[in-house]
Amino acid sequence: MAQDRIELPQGTLDLLILKTVALGPQHGWAISERIQQISRDVLQVQQGSLYPALHRLERRGWIKASWGNSDNNRKAKFYEMTRSGRKQLEAEAATWRKLAVAVSQVLETV
């Protein structure tokens, strides 16, 4: 199983985080779990690397953070989408799709 996991291509972590946060406010751990689940454990994300990405996205103004209570009533930092984040997500997703299509076309024609 482990050898089937792939390293995340450069820059895609941001896209995944934005997509995850778009579903509703989440804390860091939940985001990391969600990414693992959705990608059916194929993508290997070092949990720690998530946080610098979150802080960077916050600085850009694409997500915003606030403190709230988690399910088991502990204080946790929740991230939620901003309007400019949503635009960014659309733009990045579109780029990604184009890239994916282009790459697969190239691969098929050869």
Partner 1 sequence: MLNDLLFRLRSLLRRRGIERELDDELQFHLTHQMEKEIQTGLPPAEARRRAQIAFGGLAQTKDECRDARGTAALEAAVQDIRYALRGLRKSPAFTSVAILSLALGIGANIAIFTLMDAVMLKSLPVKAPDQLYRLAPAGQSGILEGSNFRLYEMMRDQSRSFSGVLLYNRNQWQVGLAGEVKLVYGQCVTGNYYCLLGVQAAAGRTLTEEDDRTPGGNPVAVLSHSYWERRFGRDPSVLGRTITINQVPFTIVGVTPAEFFGLEMGRSMDITVPMSMHPQVGSGMDLKTGRGFTGAFIPIARLKSGVSPDQATAEANVLFEHFLAAWMPGMSVTSRRDKLQRCELIPARNGLMKLRAQFSKPLQILMGMVGLVLIIACANVANLLLVRARARQREIALRLAIGASRARVVRQLVTESILLATLGGAIGLALALWGARVLVGFLPQDTVPLTFSFTPDIRVLVFTAVISLLTGVLFGIMPALRVTQWDLNSSLKSGARLGASGATLAARSVGRAMVVCQIALSLVLLAGAVMFARSLHNLRQVDLGFHPERVFLTKIDFNGSPYKGPTISNLNHQLLEQLKSIPGVHAAGFSVASPFDGTWEGENIFVPGFERADGRGDEIRANWVSPGYLTTMGIQLVAGRDFSPADERGNQQVAIVTENLAHHYFPGQNPIGRRVGLQRQLKTGPTEIVGVIRDFKSEGVAGDNAHMVYMPAAQETIPHSRATFALRSDRAANDLAAAVLAQFQGQRLGVPIVTMKTMRRQLDESVARERLLATLSSFFGLLALLLASAGIYGVMAYGVTRRVNEIGIRMALGARVADVLWLVLREALALVALGVAVGLPVALIASQAANQMLFRLTAEDPATLAAAAGILGVAAVFAAYLPARRAALVNPVTALHYE
Mark the segment that binds partner 1 (CB under 8 A) among 3-11, 14-22, 72-80, 85-93: 72-80
CA atoms within 13 A on the CB side of 97: 5
Minimum distance between the CB of residue 98 and partner 1, rounded to whole angstroms? 27
Q: Is 29 in the site for partner 1 (CB under 8 A)?
A: yes
C-beta closer to partner 1: residue 60 or 87: 60
Distances (CA, A) of 1 to 36, 42, 81: 14, 9, 33
Cα–Cα distance measured from residue 64 to residue 37, given in angstroms and rounded to the nearest whole number: 24
Q: Is 32 in the site for partner 1 (CB under 8 A)?
A: yes
- Vertex 5 angle, CA 30 and 104, to 5°: 105
Q: Catalog residues that contact partner 1 under the rule CB under 8 A.
A: 27-29, 32, 46-49, 51-53, 55-56, 58-61, 67, 70, 74-77
